[in-house]
Structure 1
Amino acid sequence: MGKIAFLFAGQGSQYPGMGKDLFEKINEVHDFFGVAEAIRPGTLSQMLAGTEAELKRTENTQPCLFLADIASALALASNGITPDAVAGFSLGEVVALAVSGVLSKENAFKLVCKRGALMQDAAEKEKGSMVAVLKMDKSELEEMCSEVGVFPVNYNCPGQIVVSGKDERIEKLKEKLSNKKVRFIQLSVGGPFHTPYMKEASEELKKEAEINMLYNINKSYIPLYSNMTAKPYPTDAEGIIQSFSEQISSSVNWEDTIKNMTKEGIDTFIECGPGKTLTGFVKRIVPQARIYNVCDIESLKAVVEELKNDA
């Protein structure tokens, strides 16, 4: 076995009750959830017993999903499995900041709370949505997006690009796609994320990190791959802050990220958090890769047993 990467799930994979048994049965998870609850009271009730509608609100989704993602990483670490590199999809990148040592878990949670609130505000000012477009030529889709006034933002894997924009323009895009008999999937998110409409949120997050100095920034001790560049994060504080703040209004270059990780010897990918979206992408990008998902005690035990047998 070569190197292991942890991948952290992004918005849209959330569901009520996620992470519940990890919280109940893994001491490290239980302890950190208590810290997070003290920072943002009510988070655990939203996460473990909230409604789908409540969880869909970005200001709630992001703190809750952060906890579900990091719970899996903490559970793996408690069983002796740690990553050689990390990457997170959109908000998952904030989890990766914590797991790679750039931020403490507490400060990363504070950051994601602020990030979610800023993006919620931006989404309420600019009503929008996102759709995943399947099996369409990249250049043709980018041209169609330009015509309609929407943005291709998440380059997920071969045959899947997510488009983001204002609701009325997304509807026009969907009409054009239907006319061409191109499949698309409406995503369970509440705004036009990773577009210029998030610029104000991006600038506010950067301002908080730079001026208010609320977060103690460190150099990562393992490679942390950036959504924007698909390459490892900068090592200086200014570059780190710029990377995690501008990511909000920039594209997610996930396909290139996974390819670059593979070039550096990563052959095993563990998706931490609810769902199997990211492992599905990896399977299409690097078919020969070993892929796993940890979201609960059952999946944790299966992954730990298999990896320890291979050691």
Structure 2
Amino acid sequence: MGKTAFIFPGQGAQYFGMGKDFFDKYEDSKKYFEEASKILGFDMEKMCFEENEDLNNTQYTQAAMFTVCAAILQQIEKTGVKPDVCAGLSLGEYAALYSCGTITFEDAVYLLRKRGMFMDEEVPDGKGTMAAVLGMDADKIDDICKNTEGEVAVANYNCPGQIVITGETDAVEKASKTLAENGAKRVLPLKVSGPFHSAMLKGAGDKLEKELKNIELKELKMPYVANCNASYIYDNSQIKELLKKQISSPVKFMQSVEKMIDDGVDTFVEIGPGKTLSKFVKKINKDVTVINIEKVDDLEKLKGLEIC
């Protein structure tokens, strides 16, 4: 019998109008937006649904994405479909932890607001950046980064043929040139506000650690796979340290999916805006079933899944 994984997207999947049909149709989904507004002190409904200059700002994006994922998850849980394991990409790991029952909505949305602020403030504008490397082996990319002068390293192992690098602007540009000269199909600069998941953000992790000390984590209802080490986590004793490290460590999403498949997962349900993770999973293994739940009508896709 196969297993099911719930997976949650990270920054970059956000768009104006995300989650609005759940907000409009379900009163209990609407409450997530109202609660987030009270906790954070800004209108989450306007942030997500109306065009504004802040949604793509890291300080707001992370909490907004999480709120939408939680509102959608609420309706998925009503169908009776339950995961055997959860995972998320970067900020999506917080939604995975919420799905696993170890963190409350209130604590997660608060932490993500702080996390976004710490990440945004840690490195001055223009000092750091990221780039997507297409069509090159991950080990070769890692080797070139290590041999490039300056701070540059792999940020995201997304899927075969798509790796993201991060670091000092000059070093990323140097590495990008070398990668292109050594066989990468394309190297695309990313429009981001900082060098996410690089050692340059270690200070942001230290600040987050102080906030995490005030958060009480409950026992996990099911395991999740951590970004930092692509390992199953069964108890909450490691979680805070993993969340601290995650800010300045590479996201091992590809390895996480491979780990879950090895453990018998044959169905992945992406919950939240976009279909980015669904595409990654299919590139990792074309034989697994992938479902994305982004709109109310997408809930129909769950009818074929076994109810645990």
- Cα distance, 1:115–1:73 mapped onto 2, change above 3 Å: same
Conserved 8 A contact 1:28-1:78: no
The offset of 1:25, in angstroms, is 1.0
Q: How does 1:147-296 map to 2 (within 5 A)?
A: 147-149=148-150, 150-180=152-182, 182=184, 183-210=186-213, 213=214, 215-233=215-233, 235-237=235-237, 239-296=238-295
Residues 21-40 of structure 1 mapped to structure 2, 5 A cutoff: 21-40=21-40
Which letter does structure 2 place at the counterpart of 1:184? Answer: V
Cα separation, 2, equivalents of 1:188 and 1:77: 35
1:96–1:224: 8 Å Cα contact kept in structure 2? yes
Q: Retained in 1: the 8 A contact 2:125–2:193?
A: no
Shift of 1:226: 0.3
State the alpha-carbon separation in 2 of the partners of residues 186 and 297 from structure 1: 34
Counterpart position of 2:54: 54
CA distance in 2, matches of 1:25, 1:184: 42
1:233–1:243 Cα contact (<8 Å) kept: no
TM-score of the aligned structures, taking structure 2 as reference length: 0.92
Letter in 2 for 1:173: A
Q: Bigger shift: 228-237 or 32-41?
A: 228-237
For 1:286 and 1:23, locate their aligned partners in 2 and report how far apart those are by CA, in whole Å.
Answer: 33
1:161 aligned counterpart, secondary structure: strand
Q: Deviations over 1:252-276 (max 9, x none)?
A: 1111111111122211101111111
- Residue by residue over 1:207-265, the C-alpha shift from the partner in whole angstroms, topping out at 9 and shown as x without a partner, is 2222xx2x12112110111001111225243x211011111111111111111111222
Q: Deviations over 1:128-173 (max 9, x none)?
A: 2221211113332222212143111211112221101122322223
Preserved CA contact (<8 Å) 2:29 2:74: yes
Gap runs ≥5 in structure 1: none
Residue aligned with 1:23, SS: helix
Match in the other structure for 1:20: 20
C-alpha separation between the residues in 2 aligned to 1:72 and 1:286? 26
- Residues 58 and 116, structure 2, Cα contact 8 Å, conserved in 1: yes
CA distance change for structure 1 residues 175 and 293 in 2, over 3 Å: closer, same or farther? Answer: same
Aligned partners of 2:130 and 2:172 also within 8 Å: yes
Work out the CA distance in 2 between the residues paired with 1:67 and 1:187.
Answer: 25
Q: Secondary structure at the match of 1:249?
A: coil
* Cα distance, 1:22–1:258 mapped onto 2, change above 3 Å: same
Q: What amino acid maps onto 1:9 in structure 2?
A: P
CA distance in 2, matches of 1:64, 1:50: 13
Question: For the residues of structure 1 that align with 2:120 and 2:230, how far apart are their CA atoms?
Answer: 26
How far did residue 178 of structure 1 move?
3.8
Percentage of matched positions with identical amino acids? 36
Aligned AA (1:166): E
Letter in 1 for 2:212: A
Query: Which whole-Å CA distance do the structure 1 matches of 2:248 and 2:176 have between them?
Result: 22
- 2-side partners of 1:65 and 1:24: how far apart? 17
Q: Distance in 1 between matches of 2:17 and 2:36?
A: 16
**Equivalenced residues, count:** 304
What is the aligned partner in structure 2 of residue 44 from structure 1? Answer: 45
Q: Tell me how far 1:57 sits from its aligned partner.
A: 1.1
Residues 56 and 188, structure 1, Cα contact 8 Å, conserved in 2: no
Separation of aligned partners in 2, 1:185 and 1:279: 21
- Structure-1 residue corresponding to 2:144: 144
Describe the SS at the equivalent of 2:86. Answer: strand
Measure how far apart 1:188 and its partner are.
Answer: 4.1
TM-score (norm 1): 0.91
User: Residues of 2 paired with 1:82 and 1:188: CA distance?
Assistant: 36
Deviates more, 1:219-228 or 1:71-80: 71-80
Distance 1:234 1:201 in 2: 26
CA distance in 1, matches of 2:175, 2:80: 47
